[in-house]
Structure 1
Amino acid sequence: MTVFNCKTASKRIGSVAIGALSLLFALAYSKASTADECDGFGADDYLCGIPSAEDLVQVPESHWIIASGFALPPALSLIDSRNKVWEPLYSNTRNRADHDEEQFSECPGAPDPTTLLTHGLDIISHGNGHSTLYAVGHGGREAIEVFDVYIAGPDSKPALTWIGCVLTPDGLEANSVAALRDGSLLATVPLEEGQNFAAAMQGTVTGAAYHWSAKEGSWNRLDTTAQPYANGIAVSADESEFYIASSGLANVTAYKLGEAMDAMWSTATLPVVPDNLHRNSEGQLITAGMVLEYPDCNPYNEQGEVELALFASCPRPYKVLSLDPDSQAVSVVASNTASPVFSNVTMAVVVDGTLWVGTFGGDRIAYRSVGEAVK
């Protein structure tokens, strides 16, 4: 187990590559919808104009959804699931900050809203109208950005205030984050120094999960979680275990949460390349992703390696999956065939019987009715 202290974290910033690559994907898909079209496709309708909503979380006890912004500002967007509209939540004109310097003493200050890109999200309710939102941040610095979310009532609009950050160890690019009740964090790093996407898709170990202790103010690499492209991460309700989606292995693995951090079980190979991972109110794990082996799209370069640009630039079918942590049974919540204007699917959330589906490269999110039985 490798220990990193935030005080000695390197200033190496690698998020320029993430921003540039995701921008290319976003522009590629926005070109397909420049004719003022926002027509649905298959079972999906679209909410258009929202840039690269890579992850989605529901504001607790409300109909509001917060979306990350992986390619272009705004870094965070607010979705009204009832009226099917969205607006910037953290942007150059909307960026309230109140730095909690006692809790986040090593954080240098609020992020620049003109350069901040966000990736994986997690939100923890405190039961008094306040929740804490954690967002993996890129652009200008590599950090977990922390926000207070306040909502006066279910019909009120959430107010967002940046309160601090946790710099990632040695400037590593994190992907997803899961928060613990004591303020500690788990974060995945899919590609550690010197690793690449092609190696991960061939089954090479390229990254791992890291644990940040709120008490010690330091990061530990969880060596037992090393795997090909560690992507989404989620924690059980009782915090006895956590789960990681591996894009390289196309599975989900459960680990004990404690001193050992040993693996407990892994699913069989999933029918998609899983991305983000969240636990819903029923205790089920939800993930989503694209079908890798799709005849109309060739993700392989001349060397026979899966190349990220090839994989992401061709529209693919997607599936949203539900995983029961007790039985490891996997079921398909929703799916769609390849759409010319919506691909690169990463996550889904159900709010009031409507399923919302995000993407790391696009100008819209999809939604459809799934019935009251699906939570």
Structure 2
Amino acid sequence: MSRLPHKTVKLVGYVAMVGCWTAQVQAAATPITLVCGAANVEDMAALRGTPWIVGGGMGDRYFQGGGLHLIDTRTNRIHKAELAMAADARPEAPYDACPGPVSPAQFSAHGVNAALGPDGAYRIYAVNHGGRESIEIFRAAITSGTPVLQWIGCVLTPDTVMTNAIAAQADGTLVLSASNAGTARLPSFYALSQRPPAEQGHEWDGETAGQQKGLVLTWTREQGWAPVANSALPGNNGIELSRDGQWAYVNAWSGESVTRIPLDPARGKPVTAKLGFKADNIRWGDDGTLIATGQRATEQEVIACAFGDGSACAIPYRAAVIDPETLAVTPLYDGKGSDRFGAATVGLKTGNALWLGSLRSDCVARVTLPHRAAKALD
């Protein structure tokens, strides 16, 4: 796929791309394969240097019991991850204030991320809603077989935010994206799941979704959780950190945009690029660019499907390449959505493959990028 001509207009704290999406990026022109057997893999992260991708699992409509998944890119197979998560496991520093593991049967994984630890082993960070609201941390033991994920701690999250996505700095500092934040206490998803059936099903209002303001927060063992200045966006969603760990790239779902935010306001001001779709998760590609992915639908349409009773959302979606320096946006892939897969929430590029996850599907999707697209991106 060749790059489309566009004009970039720079404003104060804002970058807008004027251009169009053409048939060159339509799903019909690009082979797509469904890899099924894992439910609701809303987010994914690559274990770079290995053939493995770790995927979340949001569980039921109240985000209970989803777990983690592993994708072997050599065989294009996905399966539930083995979690070493014994009830008597002791947390490790810097996450040793954790009261203990959550029940593996309850554990769910909304946002996920991966980063190398000081010992050279990957740490897996998962936004958990199962049983409690927390960030659960695992160490990945990668041998010649399937990786085993050893639970090493957790950090309980504030009860005034709705957690969504997570990133981590090299020293273990957590950087959290919350979709909704305020001063009032919010019920946990577990508490919502325990309500009488007659009281369930009315928790999410698509009419007011666009009015919600989120937040980015950082966590250290010494200081706990702290808000990041100038990080309130219309529906904070996916998050990635710059290579030096000093800036956050944050998608705004309702705002249909991505914003680069300094974790220390002394470093500069936030800059925003408009995307034109419900920007969900954002991921580094293996080529130094970022991939933002989300739905092409209204808040009401996505929320109705996400918390409905169907097995998939036949909602169109889009993935776009973002230049981390200029925030210039380039089209990558458009999907129409089907009764098996739609409403993509994450796009992860490895080589000439684009892996897609969804908030509501029993499958992930693998898109083989056209030769011209792969050449332009690699």
> For the superposition of Structure 1 and Structure 2, which TM-score range results when normalised by the shorter chain?
0.7 to 0.9
For 1:286, the equivalent position in structure 2 comes to 291
Structure 1 window deviating more from structure 2 (155-164 vs 249-258): it is 155-164
Matched, 1:132 2:96: no
Partner of 2:110: 119
Aligned-partner SS, 1:237: coil
Equivalenced residues, count: 319
Write the mapping of 1:324-335 to structure 2, written as runs, cut at 5 A: 324-335=323-334
Partner of 1:348: 347
Indicate how the Cα distance of structure 1 residues 251 and 342 shifts in structure 2: closer, same or farther if over 3 A, else same.
same
Q: Residue in 1 aligned with 2:16?
A: none
Distance 1:256 1:197 in 2: 31
**Structure 1 Cα separation of the partners of residues 146 and 102 of structure 2:** 23
The residue type paired with residue 167 of structure 2 is A
CA distance in 2, matches of 1:138, 1:171: 14
Alpha carbons of structure 1 residues 312 and 139: separation in structure 2 relative to 1, 3 Å: closer
> Residue deviations 1:26-75, cap 9 Å, x none?
xxxxxxxxxxxxxx997311011211001111112111111100125440
Q: Does the CA-based 8 Å contact 1:224-1:261 persist in structure 2? A: no
Task: Specify which of 296, 305, 308 is matched with residue 303 of structure 2.
Answer: 308
Is contact 1:60–1:125 with CA below 8 Å preserved after alignment? no
TM-score norm. by structure 2 comes to 0.77
The CA deviation at 1:261 is 7.3
Match of 1:209 in 2: 216
Which one is further off, 319-328 or 254-263? 254-263
Residues 339 and 210 of structure 1: CA distance in aligned 2, closer, same or farther (over 3 Å)? same
CA–CA distance in structure 1, aligned partners of residues 147 and 55 of structure 2: 13
Which AA in structure 1 matches 2:262?
Answer: K
Cα deviation for residue 96 of structure 1 reads 5.6
Q: Does the Cα contact within 8 Å between 1:129 and 1:151 map onto a contact in 2? A: no
| Structure 1 unaligned regions, length at least 5 | 1-39, 294-298, 301-305
Aligned to 1:15: none
Deviation at 1:362, TM superposition (A): 1.0
Q: Paired residue for 2:149, among 160, 164, 169?
A: 160
CA distances 1:63-116 after superposition (whole Å, capped 9, x unpaired): 11111001254400111111121221146xx64685334422320111111111
Supply the AA of the counterpart residue of 1:83. Answer: T
- Cα distance between partner residues in 2 of 1:113 and 1:137: 11
Distance 1:199 1:207, change over 3 A: farther
Equivalent-residue separation in structure 1 for 2:86 and 2:70 (angstroms)? 15
Aligned to 1:7: none
Does the CA contact (< 8 Å) of 1:188 and 1:210 recur in 2?
Answer: yes
- What is the alpha-carbon distance in structure 2 between the residues aligned to residue 102 and residue 126 of structure 1? 12
Q: Which amino acid aligns with 1:360?
A: L
User: Match of 1:175, SS?
Assistant: strand
1:200-349 residue pairs with structure 2 within 5 A?
A: 201-202=209-210, 204-216=211-223, 218-260=224-266, 263-268=269-274, 270-292=275-297, 300=300, 308-309=303-304, 315-349=314-348
> For residue 76 of structure 1, what is the aligned residue in structure 2?
68
Q: Which amino acid aligns with 2:75?
A: N
> Residues 367 and 101 from structure 1, CA distance in 2 versus in 1: closer, same or farther, beyond 3 angstroms?
closer
Note the C-alpha offset of 1:182: 1.6
Q: Deviations for 1:313-358, whole angstroms, at most 9, x for unmatched residues?
A: 6522111111002222111222222312211210011234222100
Structure 1: distance between partners of 2:173 and 2:321: 26
Name the CA distance, whole Å, in 2 between partners of 1:185 and 1:127: 15
CA contact (8 A) 2:123 2:139 kept: yes
CA contact (8 A) 2:139 2:151 kept: yes
1:50 equivalent to 2:38? Answer: yes
Identity of aligned residues (%): 28
1:281: how far off?
A: 3.4
CA distance in 1, matches of 2:314, 2:248: 32
SS at match of 1:134: strand
Q: Is the 8 A contact 1:68 1:120 kept in 2?
A: yes
Q: Name the residue aligned to 1:18.
A: none
Correspondence 1:179 to 2:178: no
- Corresponding letter in the other structure for 2:91: D
Structure 2 residues not aligned, in runs of 5+: 1-27, 187-203
CA RMSD across the alignment: 2.7
Rounded to whole Å, the distance in 1 between the matches of 2:216 and 2:109 is: 18
- How far residue 147 of structure 1 moved from its aligned partner, in angstroms, is 0.5
Distance 1:259 1:117 in 2: 33
